[in-house]
């Protein structure tokens, strides 16, 4: 899904988004964070809130 969202922004704006922000349940998942960071390694910064209520 993140691939589709990043691609949609890239098509609409002509450049990659600067950030992907993880929120809610996804904001708590280290697996999702790690996977997205690997996928978008040098393209997009993946942000994840810290603490008990990301």
| Segments forming the whole domain that contains residue 23 | 2-48
Render pLDDT for 2-28 as a digit per residue (tens, 0 to 9). Answer: 788 888 999 999 998 999 888 877 778
Spatial contact of 44 and 18, defined as CB atoms under 8 Å apart: yes
Q: What confidence tens digit (pLDDT) does each residue in 29-48 have?
A: 889 889 999 988 888 898 88
Q: Does some domain include residue 33?
A: yes
Quick check: helix, strand or coil at residue 18? Answer: coil
Q: Is residue 30 part of a domain?
A: yes
pLDDT at residue number 49: 75
Q: What is the domain count for the chain? A: 1
Ramachandran category for residue 51: left, alpha or beta (phi over 0 → left; psi -120 to 50 → alpha): left
**Does residue 54 lie in a domain region?**
no
Give the residue among 37, 41, 36, 45 at the shortest CA–CA distance from 17. Answer: 45
């Amino acid at each position: 899904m993140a691939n589709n969202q990043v691609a949609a922004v890239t098509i609409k704006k002509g450049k990659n988004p600067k950030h992907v922000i993880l929120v809610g349940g996804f904001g708590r998942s280290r697996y999702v964070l790690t996977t997205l960071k690997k996928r978008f390694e040098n393209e997009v910064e993946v942000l994840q809130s810290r603490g008990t209520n990301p």
